[in-house]
Amino acid sequence: MRTWIACAGWWCVVSLGHAQEHVPPPAVPAPQQSTRVPATTDAVPPPAAVAAPAPASEAQLQSSQTVTITANSDVKPPRVRFTPYRESYLTARKVWQVSSGNVVMALRLIPAKLSASIDDVRVALQGNGAPIPIKVSEGGVFVVPLNDDIAAQDGSFLVNKGPGELTANIVIQPSVARDAWNVTRIGQVLKDARRAVRAITPWYKRPFANEVQSLAFCAAETGSALHLMDGEQLIATLPMNEPAVNDINQAVFCKIFDGEDKYPGHYRVVLPEQATVLLL
């Protein structure tokens, strides 16, 4: 069963979604940096105009959570204030801390008006300097960067949409390199994801929140398979044929693990090239 966090007012419900490949985000100063549970982050307020941007440090720009800048003189940077950065930063930092970096927090942008679209959505993070472009994946999902300086400056996320056109849900994603998966890692990520969801769920909503049940390796179509390897020896071919829905409500076909699998922990999991990873 998928988990999601719908945002209403300043309260959100967590949605566990597909993984992207992340290089571990920058360490958060001490203390540092799919499940249905309410999160402590605020929902997206009506956008307002923003000014004065701020540069991020070089280390942060190199992290998976701070997306590289793609310069294009023909494209104007986003200018509409979407939501304050600090609330998202604090929640993303907590997710990173309690999961030991095995999962990260992302935001999924959703049209709030019938006339709104996310096909061409762009996002930037702005503090007191120039806006820092943030990479947005298919379906309007972007990982929340951990930028201490901009959080201290009361920065904001900017979008290239009109005021009130977008809202957002929280998405929890695994943050494991494609070549680093093995059976032990699957179980550890599941434990860390459950711990992270509990950490950002208000205590009074925990009795009603569903836990992360499983981790799934998924493809858009049937016919793909995982390979379990012991060193360079192929141990098993596991079909990805169990239906599921990813964090942007697309149908996918998966091999699902519940963390109690009996394979030896050192067996490597080799993913097909286009496979994604979901927390269900």
The CB density around residue 162, as the number of other CB atoms within 10 Å, is: 12
pLDDT of residue 72: 45
Distance of CA 82 to the CA centre of its chain: 18
Pairing of strands 215-219, 166-174: unpaired
pLDDT of residue 219: 97
pLDDT of residue 210: 77
pLDDT of residue 34: 41
**Residue 142 exposure: Cα atoms within 13 Å on the Cβ side:** 25
Pairing of strands 12-16, 166-174: parallel
Rounded to 5 degrees, φ, ψ at 65 are -90, -10
Amino acid letter for position 29? P
Amino acid letter for position 167? T
Q: Give mean pLDDT in consecutive 10-residue pieces for the chain, a chain of 280 residues.
A: 40 41 39 37 37 42 42 70 97 97 97 91 96 95 97 97 94 96 97 96 86 95 96 97 95 95 95 95
The CB density around residue 97, as the number of other CB atoms within 10 Å, is: 16
pLDDT of residue 63: 41
Pairing of strands 233-239, 156-159: unpaired
Helices and strands (H and E) in the chain: how many: 4, 16
190-208 tens-digit pLDDT = 999 999 999 999 999 888 8
SS3 readout for 69-116: CCCCCCCCCCCEEEEEHHHHHHHHHHHHHHCCCCEEEEEEEEECCCCC
**Which tokens hold the place of 115?**
């006339």
**Which tokens hold the place of 164?**
């009130």
